[in-house]
Every structure is written in structure tokens, then in C-alpha cells.
Amino acid sequence: MNEIILKLQNIVKTFPGVIALNEINFDLKSGEIHAICGENGAGKSTLMKVVSGVYQPDSGTLEVNGRRECFANPMDAYKKGVSIIFQETSLFEQMTVLDNLFLGHEIVKRKCGLPFIDYAAMKNNAEKIFKKLNTVIDLDSEIRNLGMAQKQMVEIAKALTFDAKIIIFDEPTASLTEREVDALFKIIRKLKNEGRGICYISHRLEEIFELCDRVTVVRDGQYISTTKVTETNKDKLVADMVGRKMDSYYPKTKAQIGNVIFNVEHYFDEDFVSDVSFNVHKGEILGFAGLAGAGRTELMTSVCGFTGRAGGKIFINNVEIFNKSYKETMSNGIIYVSEDRGKYGLILDMCIEHNITLPQLNNFSNWLGIMNREKEKTEGEKYIKELEIKAPDSRFLVTNLSGGNQQKIAVSKALALHPVLLILDEPTRGVDVNAKAEIHKIISELTLKGLTIIMISSELPELIGMCDRIYVMREGKIAGCCERSEFTQEKILSIALGTEKKLEMEER
């Protein structure tokens, strides 16, 4: 234990026009969990991709167990005991769990001189591994039928099929619920106690303090520091990460709260959401908390007319509306900004101004349907300025921007429609610390201008910092509602989980 099993020295990796990693040093001991943190684009994922063979370094040395290695691809690294568990799982969706576990290193048995895949041996092996992980997964089910947490278990199991001594986790908790995170941490600790070395990349500082032994900070491709977790604190880490002190994560400015402008009564969607009632006051930021799968997104998409409604009433300013389609919802002044920018929020291969004007082409074209490019440009430039989007001009392709700036464009697109009520679904998912603060500031400022906002988020500190009231959902129903004065993480979480009593049992 505690011998160095992975050592990186002076690693340099450049991409055309960018130095992604500049003289990075890093080491990992057996039986250790070593966190790597830094803002988005700081180079932590790139570093781990070098370790796991996805990228090859331009210069510098990589030693595993004292031997210099240069991995051609991840399979090569796997076979030498280095496994990476990617942020977005790299599993094969339409293949079975078993096939995924052993892809590229199937166990074969020779019959008549020909190699036949030995399913029985593979199954046997896989069952042992899942037993060790305390997880029950049907080996014959296809990956696409699994939930996010289960997929991650499969990835971990895959690493164990190689008996990996070094396991890299790249943002493993990004799409897990709190409970799933706990289960994952248990497993990671178990792996650590078996003497494996773990690299842990995360945005969530709380996790680093809860789980890790040492932490290395990188910023703009540079190595900044390595310290024991016990010898540092959150503020120091954040200061290292951003290179300056951050004053406030959540710049909440209290807006004037008016009358109820939007309410939903006894709402049912077609399959999951049942008997939900809530209301929003003018100028309010209303939060929706809950575990993943609690039905928050389902509720909002249904209320906005994307999916069907089975019962209930919707009122805006006490006038009943029907929202039979999203088009109708938009005309009622309600705009929904999706949690998945790339898939539903933006057209990544189009430029900024075209994304912003897309929902209202009529307003930017003449009677013949010819677009007025000047007007579009003006609109684009306006939001680039107002929301401080970091882009050279409004004809810049969205795909080349960072997550935070893309999110700002998604918000701009909504604002350009002059909504009365803005529904933001996970507005800061996959966004770095700085951009997060900027988005929070923007949200706060919008309410000062009289806009009303509903915000779904899986990050409790964010909701607690930003919202005036929080509804907590569980299993498709509203489980509770908290006023700002009674916000605590523990309270909201216990409502989301079930009861306080249940929570205690969990801990035991």
C-alpha cells in the first residue's frame, strides 16, 4: 500500500492552436483516491485521457508501476491495468451487459481449432464481479434499458473484468441522484481498500472533501497544486481553480414579488405525473427539487404541451389556458429551456443569431419570407452584449462555444420571445464555476425586470441560493413546499427522499 503506481512527469499535449496540457506532473498511490479539479476546459479530462490511452502525449513520461508506458488506445491501457470510466458512458447501447463487459477481450474456448465465445465463463466471471459490487443487473438486458446509475455500474464492472489497478472516474456523479451517489461512493471506497488507485474528477467540491485523500488542481492546462484534502478547504481550492477569490456563488437579489400569475391545479400527465398543483407569483424564482426521475422535467414538458395531459387545469393571470402544443404555450408567454442544450435546446451547427431568431422567423423576415439578416444580426449582438456571451460575433457557430456560453444562448433564445414566465430546466448543468455564477446573476437580474422564473435543478445549494420558494417532487407528485426562510439542504433532501425517518434508516 501507499506506493506510487502511476507517475506522470512533464506531460505536454497540444491540439491545433491550443496547449491543452503544459508540463503537468501527477502521481497516484495504491489505496488512494486522488481528486483532480479545475474549471471546465482546465485540462483535467484531457489529462486523464492521456493516462488512459485516448490521447497520446506530445512529450513527457507516463509510468505505471515504475515502467514507462505509451498506450495506443484505451484497450491497450485496460490490458495494463488502467481503466477509465467516462463522463458520458461509452457503452454500446444496443448490446447486452455481458457483451459490453467483455467487448474486445471475450473469453474464448477452442473447439475444433476455432475460437468460440465462452458465454458460460463470461457470465460466471461477471456475476462474481457484480456480487462484489453489491449490484443486481440482468446480464442479458441491453444497455439502453438501464438507468444512468446502472450504466455506471456496468462501466465499473468492466474495469474490474480487467482487474484494473488504476481506475479513473470522470465526473461520475454528474447524472446521479443523491442516493445513487452514496452507493457509488461506497463502491469507490471499497475499491480503494482493495489497494487500487483511484483518480477522481469532479466539479462538486463537497464530494472531493467527502471522498478523496489528495487533490490536484489544474488551471488552463497548468499544474497548480497538490495537497492533502485535510490540509485545504473549499475556498482555497476554488481560489486555486479560478486563480482569484470568488465573492459569492449565488448573487440573489430579492425582486418585488407580486400576485399569483401562473397556477396549475390537479395536473396529471399521461403516465407519471399525478395530481400536481402549484402556483408562481410575479417576479418570483420558484425552484423544483427532487431526485432524478421524480418527474420534474416530465411535469414541465407536459404543462408546456410537449407531451400529453390526462387531467388538470392551467391558469395564467386567472385565465384558463390549454397549452395543447408548445406553439400555443409560447403564444401564452411561457418558454421552456431544456436541460439538454445539445439535443433539444440549440442547433449546434448554426450560428448564434440564427439560433436566437429560429422560433420567430416571421418577425425577422419580410412578407415574401426573405430573412432580414441585418435585423437578425442586431438581435444577436444585443444578447451577446446583454448576457456577456463570449463570442467574437453573432455569426459564430454555437458548437464552438463552451457549455456556459451555449446555455446563455439558449436563455437568449427564450428571452427574445419576451416571455412572461421562463422555465429553466437544469440551467447550469455541465457549466463551469465562473459561467455558473454569471448565469445565476443573469437569472437574478431577469426577475428584477419583472420576469417570473421556474427553475428545475438537481443541485440543492443552487436552488437554496437562488429561489424564493421550492417545491419538492417525489415519484411524480409534489411532496412538499418550502419558503426561503426554512431552506436547508437536509430538509429538502428528506422530503425528496420520503420522510426524515426513512433518511435515518438509510444512514444506518
Q: How far apart are CA 167 and CA 188, in angstroms?
A: 9
Report the relative pairing of strands 276-281 and 285-290 from DSSP bridges: unpaired
**Pattern 470-489, binding to another protein, x per CB under 8 A?**
-----x--------------
Instruction: Give the range of 147-155, 199-207, 329-337, 381-389 binding another protein by CB under 8 A.
Output: 147-155
Query: Can residue 271 be called a binding residue for another protein (CB under 8 A)?
Result: yes
Q: Are 35 and 214 in contact (CB under 8 A)?
A: yes
Q: Which residue blocks in 296-424 are alpha helix, DSSP H?
A: 296-303, 326-331, 352-357, 373-386, 403-415
Q: What is the largest CA-CA distance in the chain?
A: 81
The DSSP secondary structure of 135-178, one letter per residue, reads: ----TTSBGGGS-HHHHHHHHHHHHHHTT-SEEEEESTTTT--H
Least CB distance to another protein at residue 144 (A): 8
The only residue of 25, 70, 115, 399 in contact with another protein, by rule CB under 8 A: 115
Question: Can you tell me the distance from the alpha carbon of 179 to that of 472, in angstroms, rounded to the nearest whole number?
Answer: 16
For another protein, the closer of residues 103 and 358 by Cβ is: 103
Beta bridge partners of 12: 59
Is residue 94 part of the contact set for another protein (CB under 8 A)?
yes
Stretch that binds another protein, among 86-94, 162-170, 319-327, 412-420 (CB under 8 A): 86-94
Long-range Cβ pairs for the range 145-153 (8 Å, 24+): 146/97, 147/293, 148/89, 148/175, 148/176, 148/180, 148/292, 149/176, 149/177, 149/180, 149/183, 149/184, 151/89, 151/91, 152/85, 152/89, 152/176, 152/184, 153/187
Query: Which is nearer to another protein, 135 or 222 (by Cβ)?
Result: 135
∠406-409-415 over CA atoms, to 5°?
150
- For 281, phi and psi rounded to 5 degrees? -95, 155
Q: Is residue 15 a contact point for another protein (CB under 8 A)?
A: no
Q: Which is nearer to another protein, 239 or 493 (CB)?
A: 493
From 58-66, 179-187, 337-345, 394-402, span contacting another protein (CB under 8 A): 179-187
Asked if 198 and 165 count as a contact pair (C-beta separation under 8 A), the reply is no
Nearer to another protein, 24 or 153 (CB): 153
* Residue 260: strand pairing partners: 281
Joined together, the cell numbers standing for residue 144 give: 439502453
- Which residues are CB-neighbours of 2 under 8 A, at least 6 positions away? 29, 30, 31, 32
Return the residue of 59, 70, 93, 324 that touches another protein, per CB under 8 A.
Answer: 93
Total residues at interface with another protein (CB under 8 A) = 40
Q: Which of 489, 427, 484, 491 is nearest to 254 (CA)?
A: 484
- Positions 123 through 142 that interact with another protein (CB under 8 A): 135-136, 138
Among 40, 90, 222, 232, binds another protein (CB under 8 A): 90
Spatial distance between the Cα atoms of 331 and 36, rounded to a whole number of angstroms: 46
User: At 98, which amino acid appears?
Assistant: L
The strand pairing partners of 43, in sequence order, are none
| Residue among 4, 12, 19, 108 that touches another protein (CB under 8 A) | 108
177 near another protein (CB under 8 A):
yes
**Nearest of 282, 280, 399 to residue 351 by alpha carbon:** 399
Of 36, 85, 91, 387, the residue at the interface with another protein (CB under 8 A) is 91
Q: Does 499 bind another protein (CB under 8 A)?
A: no
Binding flag, residue 340, another protein (CB under 8 A): no
Residue 158 C-beta: closest distance to another protein, Å: 10
Q: Interface mask (CB under 8 A) for another protein, residues 208-227, using x and -?
A: --------------------
- Select the residue interacting with another protein from 15, 25, 70, 75 (CB under 8 A): 75
Q: Is 342 in the site for another protein (CB under 8 A)?
A: no
- 106 part of the interface to another protein, by CB under 8 A: yes
To another protein, the closest distance from the beta carbon of 32 in angstroms equals 26
Min. distance of Cβ 154 from another protein in angstroms? 13
Assess contact for 283 and 443: CB atoms under 8 A.
Answer: no
Q: Pick the stretch among 59-67, 114-122, 341-349, 390-398 that binds another protein (CB under 8 A).
A: 114-122
* 88 vs 486 by CB, closer to another protein: 88
Q: Does 160 interact with another protein (rule: CB under 8 A)?
A: no
Site residues (CB under 8 A) for another protein? 54, 72-76, 90-95, 99, 103-104, 106, 108, 115-117, 135-136, 138, 145-150, 177, 179-180, 182-183, 271-272, 291-293, 475
